[in-house]
């Protein structure tokens, strides 16, 4: 039996599932009556989505369709960072949506403070874009997980490498 247990806190978007959600959203846009003759599309580029549509109203509908498909596939919409609307060629509008991968320094510091203020007997340290929590009791580590799930953080967290 190990004397110390640990787990890592990460925030990642499953790109395969996201690709599936984008494909499903594009199919729905192609078949919907209100998008007939519209220039609406969703492009997935490395760490961002590019949404294009005829006007702001249709672009909002595209966002709603995409988000519903993402939720159905188990992808959190918290990790989406919407850019501003900008005019594009052909009288269309475009919006870039960045996907947050990893935990930023500010969010990691907030989580560190939350864990420290909980008075649980655990240690947490920032390791690049993730956070490692160690402790002698599995129950304390599970309490930390419950604490972070209940906290109103601006990103979706996954708990991995539970040892």
Q: Is the pLDDT of residue 24 over 90?
A: yes
Whether 54 and 86 share a structural domain? yes
Q: What is the pLDDT of residue 56?
A: 87
Q: Is the pLDDT of residue 66 over 90?
A: yes
Whether 85 and 141 share a structural domain? no
Domain end position, chosen among 65, 82, 99:
99
Residues whose CB falls within 8 Å of the CB of residue 21, separated by 6 or more in sequence, listed in order: 66, 69, 70, 72, 73, 75
Q: Are strands 5-10 and 158-160 parallel, antiparallel or unpaired?
A: antiparallel
Domain end position, chosen among 99, 127, 142:
99
CB 5 within 8 A of CB 142: no
Whether 82 and 114 share a structural domain? no
CB 91 within 8 A of CB 98: no
Whether 81 and 120 share a structural domain? no
Domain end position, chosen among 73, 99, 125:
99
Q: What is the DSSP string of 54-69?
A: SSHHHHHHHHHHHHHH
3-class DSSP state for residue 43?
A: strand
Whether 76 and 122 share a structural domain? no
Find the DSSP H helices in the chain: 15-31, 56-72, 105-117, 138-150
pTM as predicted = 0.81
Q: Is the pLDDT of residue 29 over 60?
A: yes
Quote the number of domains for the chain: 2
In whole angstroms, give the CA distance from residue 125 to residue 162: 15
Whether 61 and 32 share a structural domain? yes
Whether 91 and 46 share a structural domain? yes
Whether 89 and 107 share a structural domain? no
Residue 9: name the closest of 106, 145, 152, 154 by CA: 145
Above pLDDT 70, what percent of the chain?
99
Mean pLDDT of 110-138: 87
Residue 37: other Cβ atoms inside 10 A: 5
pLDDT band at 115 (very low <50, low <70, confident <90, very high): confident
Whether 119 and 90 share a structural domain? no
- Domain of residue 149 covers 5-12+102-160
Among 19-23, 28-32, 70-74, 86-90, the minimum mean pLDDT is found in 86-90
Q: What is the pLDDT of residue 2?
A: 56
pLDDT tens digits, 33-56: 888 888 888 998 888 999 999 888
pLDDT band at 96 (very low <50, low <70, confident <90, very high): very high
pLDDT band at 130 (very low <50, low <70, confident <90, very high): confident
The CATH number of whichever domain residue 128 belongs to comes to 3.30.70.860
């Amino acid at each position: 039996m190990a004397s110390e247990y640990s787990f890592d806190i990460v925030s990642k978007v499953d790109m395969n599932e996201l690709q599936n959600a984008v494909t499903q959203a594009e199919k729905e846009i192609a078949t919907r009556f209100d998008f007939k003759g519209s220039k609406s599309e969703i492009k997935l580029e490395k760490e961002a989505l590019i949404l294009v549509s005829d006007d702001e109203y249709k672009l909002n509908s595209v966002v709603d369709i995409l988000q519903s498909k993402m939720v159905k596939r188990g992808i959190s919409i918290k990790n989406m960072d919407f850019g501003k609307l900008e005019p594009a060629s052909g009288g269309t509008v475009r919006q870039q949506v960045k996907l947050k991968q990893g935990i930023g320094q500010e969010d990691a510091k907030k989580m560190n403070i939350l864990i420290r203020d909980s008075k649980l007997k655990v240690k947490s340290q920032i390791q690049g874009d993730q956070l490692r929590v160690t402790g002698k009791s599995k129950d304390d580590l599970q309490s930390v997980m419950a604490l972070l799930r209940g906290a109103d953080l601006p990103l979706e967290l996954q708990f991995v490498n539970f040892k």
